[in-house]
Amino acid sequence: MPNDTSEATFQADILDSDVPVLVDFWAPWCGPCRMVSPILDTLAQKAGGKAKFFKLNVDRNPNIAGKYGITAIPTVIVFKTGEIHKQLVGVQPQEIYEQALGI
């Protein structure tokens, strides 16, 4: 299950990670965001320790959302060595997220 991240912890949680990190940019009022959550829960279990999974509430963390140009949610960004590796907008099949992570 993905952990929550915030503007205060984003650097340590995401950018400083030594494994790929999938970040789900979401909001509680977003219906499609609720569709992504169970997919990412399954993927997090499947990935084991090969990747980390986080959720960032865009309403509570507008500076990070703005920095990464989040204009539609759900948006999922995969970071590798602190850099954006892949960005996906909208609900995607689990296989697409797996491919983006390389697992």
- What does the chain come to in residues? 103
Using an 8 Å Cβ cutoff, are 56 and 15 in contact? Answer: no
Euclidean distance between CA atoms 44 and 67, whole angstroms: 25
The per-residue DSSP string of 17-34 comes to -SS-EEEEEE-TT-HHHH
For the question of residue 98 being annotated catalytic, the response is no
| Phi, psi dihedral angles at 49 (to 5 degrees) | -95, 10
- The tens place of each residue's pLDDT in the chain, 103 residues long, gives 899 999 999 999 999 999 999 999 999 999 999 999 999 999 999 998 899 999 999 999 999 999 999 999 999 999 999 999 999 999 999 999 999 998 8
Active-site pick, 9, 17, 27, 30: 30
Active-site pick, 22, 33, 36, 47: 33
Neighbour-count burial for 51-64, b at 16+ CB within 10 Å, e otherwise: bbbbbbbbeebeeb
For the question of residue 33 being annotated catalytic, the response is yes
What the chain holds in terms of domains, given with CATH numbers, is 3-90 (3.40.30.10)
